[in-house]
Structure 1
Amino acid sequence: MSGSPKGDRAEEPPTLTIPRGTLLRSRVVSDVGTTLSRALDRELTGYATLVPQETLLLSGEARGVITFDDGVPVLAYNTVTDSGGPDALAELAVPGPYRVELYAVDASGLAAAHEERALRVAPDAAATELADDPDLAERTRESAPEERLRDADDEDDAVAAFLADEERIDAIREQARSEARDRAAEWGIDDALDGPDEFE
């Protein structure tokens, strides 16, 4: 299983490639939390495919894969948009019902995929964003390896530090202003930037 490439880019995003597993369950559910809880209780190593029913009716762009290691979510991937990690979860966070299939896979079959850090999500992120279930999120954190929890906390700290770095943010804004002015000059639309600053 893998995502499809999209056009020419300087750097292609990682795609998720995992072996076909043993189908354990296939059904329509109104709450993804049911599937996440089942995977946690079974200490499943494998993956779930999630297709929101509204995407089938409206040709939407949300067909997701969530992988598990001993029941704890590791990766999230949208096979339609090639988005991974938190972005994929955000795209999948739409009203149910969902068509869900749950597969078991040997741990060795997921080892390579689980090295793709760009596709990783915090252990409790799926329970929080897809199921809106604080109790399930807490149970998932309790089952997650310490290393996974440290990684998630480190990422949160990095984001908080970035947002607190006003000088860095101001520098990024100034660079954006400068690039916009340069493009406007190239395209002959300098007057468009004479009004209020768009980057504040």
Structure 2
Amino acid sequence: MRIPRGALRRSRVVDDPGDVLRTVLDEELTGYVVFEPQDALLLGEATRGIVTFEDGVPVLAYDTERDCGGQAGLEGFAVTGPNRVSVHVVDADALSEAHETDEFRIPPGEPARVLAGDERLATETAEVAPESRREAGRSQSAVEAFLANEDAIEEIRSEAREEARARAAEWGLDDVLEDDETRSVETPSIDTGTESR
């Protein structure tokens, strides 16, 4: 993937990446922002990440030092402390090829959520994203949240078991259901084909 060099709009050190993400959203920036965590530089580490934008909405994330993109790339430069942030403007047509790199794409609200821990800004960003990207981000977030919620999964399993018992009672199959449950916990006997002597 190649991101064309853009015109530098501003560069400064900020304590909260959310401030930059909100400004970029308000300005409807098309281009990219480079994040360089200052704590990493002081420790001699070279952490540097790029987030691209179209009309203020994040599209791609890329960790230049670890050479990975997408969600993993974004999390690679999500560190606490001040960041030197450089905002660059690029023509939308010049970014179109890079923006077709699916493995580097991220849901619209993820930079606000991961870099700034700002759920409100994440929601606002997702709401102004194109419908196709908004739906993709919402679906991905919903599935991840559901799979992480073990209580919700267990509740669904419990409801399914209760419904099965109710149906069995309705159809007069209580005894069959009980027999099945009993067999499921019994230890099966094994015929070795030899007689004890």
Q: TM-score, normalised by structure 2?
A: 0.70
Identify the residue that residue 78 of structure 1 maps to in structure 2: 63
C-alpha distance in 1 between matches for 2:92 and 2:64: 21
Determine helix, strand or coil for the equivalent of 1:40: helix
Shift of 1:69: 0.5
* Contact 2:29 2:53 (8 Å CA) reproduced: yes
Identify the residue that residue 46 of structure 1 maps to in structure 2: 31
Stretch moving more, 101-110 or 128-137: 128-137
Determine helix, strand or coil for the equivalent of 1:100: strand
Q: Closer, same or farther in 2 for the Cα pair 1:51/1:155, shift >3 Å?
A: same
* Paired residues for 1:114-133 under 5 Å: 114-133=99-118
Do residues 68 (structure 1) and 53 (structure 2) align?
yes
Structure with bigger gyration radius: 2
Gaps of 5+ in 2: 151-197
Count of residues in Structure 1 that have an aligned counterpart in Structure 2: 150
Shift of 1:155: 3.4
Identify the residue that residue 153 of structure 1 maps to in structure 2: 138
More helix by share: 2
* Contact 1:29 1:97 (8 Å CA) reproduced: yes
Identify the residue that residue 95 of structure 1 maps to in structure 2: 80
C-alpha distance in 2 between matches for 1:160 and 1:38: 28
* Contact 1:72 1:123 (8 Å CA) reproduced: yes
Shift of 1:137: 1.1
Determine helix, strand or coil for the equivalent of 1:149: helix
Q: Closer, same or farther in 2 for the Cα pair 1:56/1:162, shift >3 Å?
A: same
Deviations 1:36-56 (A, max 9, x none): 011100000000000000121
Q: Closer, same or farther in 2 for the Cα pair 1:42/1:79, shift >3 Å?
A: same
C-alpha distance in 1 between matches for 2:61 and 2:107: 10
C-alpha distance in 1 between matches for 2:76 and 2:39: 13
Q: TM-score, normalised by structure 1?
A: 0.69
* Paired residues for 1:1-200 under 5 Å: 16-156=1-141
Deviations 1:122-143 (A, max 9, x none): 1000001111112211210111
Deviations 1:61-80 (A, max 9, x none): 52000000100000000000
- Identity, in percent, stands at 47
Gaps of 5+ in 1: 1-15, 165-200
After superposition, the CA RMSD in angstroms is: 2.0
Determine helix, strand or coil for the equivalent of 1:28: strand
C-alpha distance in 2 between matches for 1:140 and 1:158: 19
Shift of 1:149: 1.4
* Contact 2:127 2:134 (8 Å CA) reproduced: no
C-alpha distance in 2 between matches for 1:138 and 1:39: 15
Q: Which amino acid aligns with 1:103?
A: H
C-alpha distance in 1 between matches for 2:114 and 2:145: 19
Q: Closer, same or farther in 2 for the Cα pair 1:120/1:27, shift >3 Å?
A: same
C-alpha distance in 1 between matches for 2:17 and 2:142: 28
